[in-house]
Amino acid sequence: MKRKPFAGALALLASAAFFVSLAPAGAQRDEQPPPDNGRPEAPPAQQVEQPSRTAPDYGPETARATIAAARRYADIAAKDGWPHIAALVTPESKGHLIAALRRRLAIEGYLSREDGKRDEWDDTLSDALRRFQAHVGLAQTGAVSRETLRELNVPPATRARKLAATAARLARMRFRFGDRYVVVNIPAASVEAVEKDEAVKRYTAVVGGRRHPSPQVVAKIVSIDINPTWTVPASIIKKELAPKLKRNPHYFERENIRILDARGHEVDPLKLRRMSSKRAASFTFRQEPGPKNSLGSIRVFMPNNHAVFMHDTPHKNLFDKDYRFLSHGCVRVEGVYDLASWLLQDTGDWDASRLKDEEERGRTEKIGLRRPVPVAWVYMTGWATDDGPAHFRRDIYDLDKGTKLPAQNGAGVAHS
């Protein structure tokens, strides 16, 4: 029996669609003339990852595409959804299990209508699984792991809500897309460098955890800081460093952290052991450059009201983890030397090798960008770049709660 269509439109989504529709496509693009510096542009630095003509996850059309995708997935939900896969499926599984898996993937668009009707395992099915895994942020194995099974069984209505929530957030961003810009997708823990509507570089990132979330922010990158000092925020002093003052004052010497009073005079940590957390936060705790500095060797500086930025880290092993929501709000970037050299293309001959040479000299240096680069930190738990299957990530900060299903398309979605 066919379910009744979902009634009503999501007010938040309708608002997002309204504001996006006020301007023609690309109206928020911040076009700037190329620099005239009297010399040819420096060649691009060696890339950590170079997609081949890949559309960026966040571009001028993402909000519109995500609104449309939310309605497509709502249509799927209204038409009885997709099959629930009851168990792990392997090439040796019985035909009806493989048939259910194929139909599930075909409904979302990973297989054609005809391929969705078959009941054997083949390379076409493995390839479809790899594309599905890529879209939900899993290792692209082409096999049904427990994590893959869990994602396959997420209901289409839940997917539609994620897309609707993301579309509403994007409509509020008011980001002016430049010819070159940087995007941090917080739920995906990833960074993109975008040039002429192409994601030319992608990097793995570590972002804020649940207790210290990374904010949604729009700013401009103005400098690359080599061997930066780190002034510890008051919140971290109160919660983490003040207790260390009482337990182990020698921690600060070991970690190369100096404590300064209001006049800039250094204070012996032993003299602050009995001080309250609130009083301790009135002092400046500054970590000097070096191998233990929490910012690593490079900071990508982007002035903003949240006092967050992107940076290197001495803890490179964190990039290998599946769960990378581990920072205090800033974004740690794997391949930050490569990102920095890309940002500095218009500023001088700053490739990754030269940046490392400067870092090894040990001096703190600020390299101002000749032309600031726009940057957006966005919270996209579901997003679309075209009319195919959408992309999804975990709602790590629980920002999607309360989102209702969007209005359906009039034509609906044809099932295979």
DSSP string, 4-63: PPPPS--HHHHHHHHHHHTS-TTTTEE--PPP--SSPPPPPPPPS---SSPPPSSSTTHH
Residue type, 193: A
Block residue for tokens 């449309």: 68
How far is 228 from 299, CA to CA, in rounded Å?
A: 7
> Three-state SS across 91-111?
CCCCHHHHHHHHHHHHHHCCC
Are the C-beta atoms of residues 165 and 171 closer than 8 Å to each other? no
3: three-class secondary structure by DSSP: coil
330 is an active site residue = yes
How far is 279 from 393, CA to CA, in rounded Å?
A: 41
Structure tokens at 266: 């250094």
Structure tokens at 229: 């000092």
- Find the DSSP H helices in 153-231: 156-171
* Segment (H or E) for 190: strand 190-195
Are the C-beta atoms of residues 340 and 300 closer than 8 Å to each other? yes
Residues written for the chain: 416
How far is 147 from 142, CA to CA, in rounded Å?
A: 12
Q: Which of 275, 308, 279, 312 is nearest to 297 (CA)?
A: 312
Paired sense of beta strands 217-226 and 365-378, if any: antiparallel
- Find the DSSP H helices in 201-321: 234-236, 242-247, 251-254, 277-280
Give the side-chain half-sphere CA count within 13 A for 379.
19
Catalytic member of 135, 328, 330, 391: 330
Divide the 416 residues of the chain into consecutive groups of 10 and give the mean pLDDT of each group: 41 47 43 37 37 80 96 95 95 95 97 95 97 96 97 97 96 93 98 96 96 96 96 90 90 92 92 88 93 93 95 94 94 96 90 90 92 97 94 96 70 36
Give the torsion through C-alpha atoms of 135, 136, 137, 141, to 10 deg. -80
Q: What pLDDT shows up at residue 408?
A: 65
Give the side-chain half-sphere CA count within 13 A for 21.
8
231: three-class secondary structure by DSSP: strand
* Segment (H or E) for 325: strand 325-327
299: three-class secondary structure by DSSP: strand
How far is 221 from 162, CA to CA, in rounded Å?
A: 29
311 is an active site residue = yes
How far is 129 from 33, CA to CA, in rounded Å?
A: 43
How far is 121 from 128, CA to CA, in rounded Å?
A: 11
pTM: 0.83
Q: Which of 221, 129, 142, 211 is nearest to 178 (CA)?
A: 221
224: three-class secondary structure by DSSP: strand
88: three-class secondary structure by DSSP: coil
How far is 22 from 351, CA to CA, in rounded Å?
A: 41
Helix crossing, 11-21 with 156-171: angle to 10°?
Answer: 50
How far is 9 from 16, CA to CA, in rounded Å?
A: 12
Q: In what order do the strands lie in the sheet with 284-287?
A: 230-231, 284-287, 257-260
Q: What pLDDT shows up at residue 18?
A: 46
Q: What pLDDT shows up at residue 409?
A: 65
Catalytic member of 96, 135, 212, 311: 311
Kindly report the number of other CB atoms within 10 A of residue 181's CB atom.
23
- Find the DSSP H helices in 265-391: 277-280, 336-343, 352-361
Q: What pLDDT shows up at residue 274?
A: 84
182: three-class secondary structure by DSSP: strand
* Segment (H or E) for 183: strand 180-185
